[in-house]
Chains A and B, each alone.
Chain A
Amino acid sequence: MAKTAKPPKPEELSKIDYRPPRTHWMDTPVQFKEGTFCYASRPKYLEEVDFPNAREWSSADEDWKLPDNWKEILLEGIKDRLKKYRSFQLFMDICVRCGACADKCHFFLGSGDPKNMPVLRAELIRSVYRKYFTLGGKLFGKRAGARELTYDVFKEWWYYFFQCTECRRCSVFCPYGIDTAEITMMGRELINLLGCNTDWIMGPVANCYKKGNHLGLEPHTIKMNIEMMCDDIEEITGIRIEPTFNRKGAEILFVTPSGDLFGMPGIYTCMGYLMLFHELGLDYTWSTYASEGGNFGFFTSNEMAKRLYYKIYAEAKRLGVKWILGGECGHMWRLVHQYLDTWHGPADFLEVPKSPITGTVFEHAKSTKMVHVVEFTADLIRHGKLNLDPSRNDHLRVTFHDSCNTSRGMGIFEEPRYIIKHVCNHFYEMPEDTIREKTFCCGSGSGLNAGENMELRMRGGFPRANAVKYVHEKHGVNMLANICAIDRAALTTLMQYWVPQVDVCGVHELVGNALVMKGEKKRTQDLRLEDLPGVEEETEEEGE
């Protein structure tokens, strides 16, 4: 007869060890948890841009339907990229694992997952590099930090390279200047060789390739959306704005992320642009073809990003404009600043951008011929060209979130702050460690702003939200301004989870509110069609 098990004593029952297993990272297999990853791409999106291995698959499945020679493809892919990108070779070799980057990643800070430490995320691929491309790794294996490339290792890459927003905060702290974002980019390029991108990224890529923008909006829809905004502007100001589309011979082509055309709260930023350009009498046109400032191709491969961006210059050439003005976007500006000139530049058929209002020549854009709208507007304010009434934003206590791409990728720090301080009376900075080049990411950049990975996004965005919460509690901040379309969408959601008292807007929404336009009626509403506090409705007699 079997022995009866002894019942545990009460003190034994109370001893519950919740500590996670203390295994080496190489021996800790990845666990795919719902809420932390995006769905796999549908095959049609891959087919539309000629990406390999288009098939129905799911990232939660065991079998990812990889080609038989998947390992060979990946190792060849690494070899090619080591040859092609010197930075990749350097970043594989020079890390001394000092740990300076370890606690700088918003995903690590929010999740506590050690594989979100930038150094360890990079080790995921570096360990394979050592095994197949270095003598030490070949000879000494695990002792030299090397490991075999296995199916599980590939899945681990996939899981964690889609838990990096390529924000480059870690690179600010690396004494060697290793840009971990570039390692993620290489990781994602390799993942693409096996057709394993996410639906959230590939959908916009395919749409953008075919129709010019992420959602696949066709020309008449773009025009209709902008005209609806003009209806709202007319209701608010009494002024009818008639923007032009695809107009040949315009001086300036304006390109903005398509999120500004149809998403909340991006449309209010777009209304701000429309009002500003109208007030200036700017000779500009919208394009319904170059209708996307963003570039999700950047989250697949360098080549795909290059393919998607050609349309901007092609359209500028077709319309015969002199230069290009760009809207409030994040990764658009990193691409313009760091990649566009190499891909398609110099754009010699265009002229060096010169503000027709102030005469300022934007020398820094001499080669790309593209100027960020906050540079343009800050210059207008500096020259006293705008009539502004900041008191219309008095109900707002504003802080500014530096978007990763415009701050670390381009160095835009002062212009948005300068504008905000002229259009608002209440501006408060977040703490020093969380702004400018040390800014915390929204947690949803680089194609991670999907719905199915909401839990991951809330983790990644926590350090940013924590700083917002601080200024909310200390100064009563209720508006988080920024100059990125993904931020406008993602931070809105982030705030609703962490600091629901704070709303989100683009800088040009604030400009639109404060801008005193010639011939406008007394403003009683802001751009969201909400009543301005303390302002009474205009009576018939007071009117025009």
Chain B
Amino acid sequence: MNLKELLSNRKETIINKWFDLIIDSYPPDTAHFLRTQKNQFTNPVGHTIHNAIEGILDELLEPSDSAKLTSHLDSIIRIRAIQGFTPSVALNFLFLLKKVVRDEIQAEAGMNGVAEELLGFESQVDGLLKESFDIYMACREKLYELSANEARNMTYRLLESANLLKDSSETFHPEGDGFDSG
């Protein structure tokens, strides 16, 4: 049995253990809630994380679309980037995947080729980590951009009437596509 088959067979266990470790980064009362409440709308953080890690593992095992992988990473990081975690803790969830996988296949690690495949798998995770740094920084930068845009939006007409906008005849389009109503 190769690594991919091993992990596919134990996917549910891996997801559950991985999810538990991520959720442990929250205070105990919160962690209990995030674990037990399954509703997508009344537990948006727990649901989003669970959904995303499932998607990430699926894509690692059966790559289909790199955009999907990015989207799953984004949905977790976008949350953790604004929850007061240090960057290392915010992105720790990917290191935790390595730990869960290593623990899970410890017994089979000596089987022919599995250890080598594990190195390959971990390199894939490292690739995700690199991408995650970029996503994390983009989220943080977005926060500052939003503050600046908001200050301008709030007094838009006043700036316009005082001729303080670059071109007062144009509708304001901040960077990003929030105002793009086609």
A contacts, CB < 8 Å to B: 14, 16, 18-20, 22, 33, 35-36, 102-103, 108-114, 117, 215, 217, 221, 224-225, 228, 259, 261-265, 267, 395-396, 431, 433-434, 451-452, 454-455, 458-459, 462-463, 466-467, 470, 478-479, 489, 492-493, 495-498, 500-503, 526, 528-530, 533
Contact = CB atoms under 8 A, between A and B. Distances in A.
A493 B149 contact: yes
B29 A503 contact: no
Interface in B97-148: 99, 139, 142-144, 146-148
Indicate the size class of the contact surface on chain B. Answer: 35 or more
Given A20-B26, A466-B44, A492-B150, 4 more contacts: A102-B29, A452-B147, A493-B146, A503-B180
Nearest to A117: B29
A496 B146 contact: yes
Given A466-B41, A500-B178, A451 B30 contact: no
Interface in B13-60: 24-30, 33-34, 37, 39-45, 48
Contact of B39 (A20, A33, A433): A433
Interface of B: 24-30, 33-34, 37, 39-45, 48, 78-79, 82-84, 89, 92, 95, 99, 139, 142-144, 146-151, 153-158, 160-161, 171-172, 174, 176-182
B35 to A, nearest CB: 12
Contacts of A117: 29
14 contacts: A33-B84, A36-B84, A102-B29, A114-B27, A114-B29, A215-B155, A395-B182, A433-B39, A451-B147, A454-B143, A455-B82, A463-B44, A466-B48, A489-B153
Given A19-B25, A109-B43, A497-B146, A489 B154 contact: yes
A18 B20 CA distance: 12
Contact of B178 (A114, A496, A530): A496
Given A33-B84, A103-B42, A264-B172, A497 B157 contact: no
Contacts of B48: 466
Nearest to A110: B45
Contacts of A466: 40-41, 44, 48
B157 A228 contact: yes
A261 B156 CA distance: 10
A262 B41 contact: no
A467 B29 CA distance: 24
A36 B148 CA distance: 17
Contacts of B151: 451
Q: Is the interface of B mostly helix, strand, loop or mixed?
A: helix
A259 B153 CA distance: 10
B156 A264 contact: yes
Contacts of B79: 462
A206 B50 CA distance: 47
Contacts, number: 160
B40 A470 contact: yes
A451 B150 contact: yes
B145 to A, nearest CB: 8
Contacts of A265: 153
Contacts of A113: 27, 30, 84
A431 B170 CA distance: 37
Nearest to A214: B154
B26 A112 contact: yes
A108 B44 CA distance: 11
A327 to B, nearest CB: 16
A217 B158 CA distance: 10
A505 to B, nearest CB: 9
A479 B153 contact: no
A355 B120 CA distance: 73
Contact of B37 (A103, A224, A228, A500): A103
Contacts of B161: 221, 224-225, 228
A332 to B, nearest CB: 18
Contact of A109 (B45, B95, B149, B181): B45
Contacts of A470: 40-41
A103 B30 CA distance: 9
A498 B156 CA distance: 23
A459 B44 CA distance: 11
Contacts of B180: 503
Nearest to B139: A497
Contacts of A526: 181
Nearest to B157: A262
